[in-house]
Amino acid sequence: MRAPAEAHIHAPEFPPKLDWANVAFLRMDKQAGRHAVLVEFWDFARVYSLRTLPYMKAWHERYADAGLRVIGVHSPGYSFGRDAETVRRAVSRLGIEYPVALDPAYEVARSYGIHGWPSRFLFDRRLVLRYVHYGEGDYLDCELAIQECLHELDEDLELPEPLEPLRPEDAPGALMEPQTADVTLPAERERLELVRDWIDGEDYIEAADAGAAATARFDAGGAWAVLSGAGLEPGLYETDGTVVAESPGLRLHGFQFTPKPPVPRQA
Q: How far apart (Å, rounded) are the C-alpha atoms in residues 28 and 141?
A: 24
Strand boundaries in 35-128, DSSP class E: 36-42, 68-74, 100-102, 119-123
Residue 115: pLDDT above 60? yes
Residue 82: pLDDT above 80? yes
- Confidence band, pLDDT 50/70/90 cuts, at residue 6: low
Domain-wise residue ranges, the chain: 19-170, 183-258
List, in order, residues 6 or more apart from 58 with CB less than 8 Å away.
163
| Domain 19-170 -> CATH class | alpha beta
- Confidence band, pLDDT 50/70/90 cuts, at residue 8: confident
Residues of the chain with pLDDT > 90, as a percent, come to: 88
Tell me the mean pLDDT in the region 64-70: 97
Whole-structure pTM value = 0.94
Map residue 129 onto helix, strand or coil.
strand
- Confidence band, pLDDT 50/70/90 cuts, at residue 264: confident
List, in order, residues 6 or more apart from 219 with CB less than 8 Å away.
179, 180, 260
Contact between 217 and 181 (Cβ < 8 Å): no
The residue among 50 and 265 whose pLDDT is bigger is 50
DSSP state of 96: -
At 3 the pLDDT is: 66
Tell me the per-residue pLDDT of 225-242, one tens digit each, with 9 for 90 and over. Answer: 999 999 999 999 999 999
Mean pLDDT of the chain: 94
Tell me the per-residue pLDDT of 194-217, one tens digit each, with 9 for 90 and over. Answer: 999 999 999 999 999 999 999 999
Q: How far apart (Å, rounded) are the C-alpha atoms in residues 78 and 226?
A: 9
